[in-house]
């Protein structure tokens, strides 16, 4: 049984609200290839390696992709 933490629930609710308000609602869970992306895990891993600007500056998107099981 998968249990979702309160922190993860709050993140997902906030993300869906943000995307809805930006007129880009999340209709389905995004995927890489045939694997669905765990958006909370993606966020936490991206945060751990410095966030969007740091990942982009250091060209670490492939590293993040690999951490997601790509």
The domain spanning residue 26 has which CATH number? 1.10.150.60
5-56 pLDDT, tens digit per residue, is 999 999 999 999 999 999 999 999 888 888 889 999 999 999 999 999 999 9
Structure confidence at residue 13 (pLDDT): 96
Structure confidence at residue 70 (pLDDT): 73
Domain count, the chain: 1
Domain that holds residue 63: 6-67
Report yes or no on 1 lying in a domain: no
Report yes or no on 36 lying in a domain: yes
Structure confidence at residue 34 (pLDDT): 84
Neighbouring-strand partners of residue 36: 31
Report yes or no on 25 lying in a domain: yes
pLDDT surpassing 60 at residue 69: yes
Structure confidence at residue 2 (pLDDT): 66
Report yes or no on 47 lying in a domain: yes
Report yes or no on 35 lying in a domain: yes
Report yes or no on 51 lying in a domain: yes
């Amino acid at each position: 049984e998968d249990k979702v933490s309160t922190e993860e629930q709050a993140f997902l609710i906030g993300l869906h609200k943000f995307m809805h308000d930006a007129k880009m609602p999340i209709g389905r869970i995004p995927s890489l290839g045939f694997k669905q992306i765990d958006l909370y895990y993606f966020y936490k891993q991206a945060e751990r390696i410095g966030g969007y600007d740091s990942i982009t500056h250091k060209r670490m998107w492939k590293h993040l992709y690999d951490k997601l099981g790509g």
